[in-house]
């Protein structure tokens, strides 16, 4: 830590420091100044809806990389919208084998299944430092009653996430290691790009090979060898926490990936 930073720390709160050090983007105090909505990736809401969302929101929350937002098995009582950073949903078997179900990126609604699903639960863990808007579950019914349009949006989000898990199941069940890696790279790149998070042909890529392995249902070693090969073939490059698709065409073909028209998505 440099002298300047140390000096700075004497006048800034530790919390704020963490923010600076990790590049965490905190949630804005009011939904009106939400930066996510300005990306154009989300469906617009009218003033009334926005006001309701604002009232629905019970606060914000910041977690550090590696923290657990929702524990497997333990119901959470809250809903969240991920505002900044990466997280993932996962399930584990009792002997520790872990499967990542899907990654959560800014704008994703978190915790909906906790309420409804009757199977065992899933956990949610932060990949990077993250900031979230918090909603209380008790008010969810109010939302459906008062603003059916928002209820409709929530159903949309639920169905969209299911579609994502569907894709991951197809990948884990029927693609080989090479195809799986290619699929994941394409999928994440496109999602981030849609959010306007691609810069100079690259996107942030904060996950490690263990995350990739747990997502794809592969071992760490085989994941490594597969990614290494794809990199040697010049298909992609991961460096300094960023991902470049050096040959998207080839990756797309390998993965049997189809680009879909980017639709706007609801944002709560």
Partner DNA sequence: CGGTAGATTGAGAGTCCTCAAGCTCTGTGG
Partner DNA sequence: CCACAGAGCTTGAGGACTCTCAATCTACCG
- Does 173 participate in binding a copy of itself (rule CB under 8 A)? yes
Residues 155 to 174: which contact DNA by CB under 7 A? none
Nearer to a copy of itself, 30 or 170 (CB): 170
Among 163, 196, 234, 241, the residue binding a copy of itself under the rule CB under 8 A is 163
Residue 258: name its binding partner from a copy of itself, DNA, none (Cβ under 5 to 8 Å by kind).
a copy of itself
- Does 91 participate in binding a copy of itself (rule CB under 8 A)? yes
As measured in angstroms, the least distance from the Cβ of 152 to DNA is 40
Residues 174 to 233: which contact a copy of itself by CB under 8 A? 174-175, 216-217
Residues 206 to 225: which contact DNA by CB under 7 A? 208-210, 217-225
Cβ contact 223:211 at 8 Å: no
Per-residue x/- marks for a copy of itself, 47-86, CB under 8 A? ----------------------------------------
Nearer to DNA, 174 or 199 (CB): 174
Residue 163: name its binding partner from DNA, a copy of itself, none (Cβ under 5 to 8 Å by kind).
a copy of itself
Q: Could you list the residues that contact DNA (CB under 7 A)?
A: 1, 176-178, 208-210, 217-228, 231
């Amino acid at each position: 830590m440099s002298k300047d930073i140390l000096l700075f720390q004497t006048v800034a709160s530790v919390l704020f420091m963490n923010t600076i050090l990790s590049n965490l983007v905190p949630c804005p105090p009011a939904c009106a100044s939400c930066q996510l909505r300005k990306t154009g990736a989300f469906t617009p809401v009218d003033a009334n809806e926005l006001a309701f969302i604002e009232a629905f929101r019970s606060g914000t929350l910041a977690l550090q990389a590696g923290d657990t937002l929702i524990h497997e098995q333990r119901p959470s009582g809250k809903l969240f919208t991920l505002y900044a950073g990466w997280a993932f949903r996962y399930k584990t078997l009792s002997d520790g084998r872990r499967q990542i179900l899907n990654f959560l990126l800014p704008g994703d609604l978190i915790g909906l299944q906790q309420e409804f699903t009757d199977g065992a639960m899933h956990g949610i863990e932060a990949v990077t430092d993250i900031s979230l808007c918090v909603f209380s579950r008790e008010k969810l019914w109010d939302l459906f009653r008062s603003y059916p349009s928002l209820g409709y949006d929530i159903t949309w989000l639920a169905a969209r996430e299911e579609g994502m898990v569907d894709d991951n199941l197809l990948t884990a069940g029927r693609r080989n290691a090479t195809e799986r890696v290619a699929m994941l790279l394409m999928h994440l790149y496109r999602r981030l790009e849609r959010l306007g998070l691609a810069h100079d042909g690259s996107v942030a890529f904060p996950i490690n090979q263990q995350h990739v392995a747990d997502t794809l249902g592969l071992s760490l070693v085989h994941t490594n060898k597969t990614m290494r090969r794809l990199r040697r073939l010049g298909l992609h490059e991961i460096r300094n926490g960023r991902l470049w698709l050096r040959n998207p065409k080839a990756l797309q073909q390998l993965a049997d990936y189809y680009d879909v028209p980017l639709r706007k998505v609801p944002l709560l």
